[in-house]
Amino acid sequence: MAGASLVSMFATFRIDHIVHHDLYNYGLQFSTQWAIPYWTMAAIVFSMGWLIILTSIAFELHLVMHRRHKLPEPEAPSVRQEQVQNETPRIEAKPSGKSEEGEVKTTALAVKTDDGLSEFRAILQEISQMTQATVARQKADDKPTDEK
């Protein structure tokens, strides 16, 4: 559209050159009867030409900005929340013997659940027991002994 407007404006310049140079050489007499419609037509051609050029530029800039915002941006990793059913696992303990106080000691635990986390839960439970035993030993080592 802008290119067509430029061509129209260039053609109007050529007609203006013909009227003001060539036709006066062939005896054209100036008269407001033909000059006013000619000037009006030239003003309309140039004003519409500039309007179309500016509108075309604005439209192209709008398209460029719209395309730039429409391009997919790299996706950041998202965190999905899933509801997890909290079930109490069944724990079966096998007694290994009796302690001095008469309690039953357990050496192996088998966690039976239907999900894939049963091994992980069993390992966490063993780690918890080892940590508790280590803390108990440290407390026992930190107790001052009465020397006489």
Instruction: Look at residue 112 in the predicted model and tell me its pLDDT.
Output: 54
Q: What is the pLDDT, as a whole number, of residue 138?
A: 84
Chain centre to alpha carbon of residue 17: 58
Residues facing residue 93 across a β-bridge = 109
Cβ–Cβ under 8 Å, residues 110 and 102: no
pLDDT score at 124: 84
Give the start-to-end residue ranges of the domains of the chain: 2-70, 91-142
> Residue 1 pLDDT more than 70?
yes
71 pLDDT exceeds 80? no
Average pLDDT on 87-113 reads: 53
Tens digits of residue pLDDT in 6-43: 999 999 999 999 998 888 888 889 899 999 999 999 99
With b meaning 16 or more CB within 10 Å and e meaning fewer, what string describes 35-49?
Answer: eeeeeeebeebeeeb
Q: What is the CA radius of gyration of the chain?
A: 47
Of 126, 114, 124, 120, the residue nearest 90 (C-alpha): 114
pLDDT (0 to 100) of residue 91: 55
DSSP 81-105: -------PPEEEEEEEEE-TTSPEE
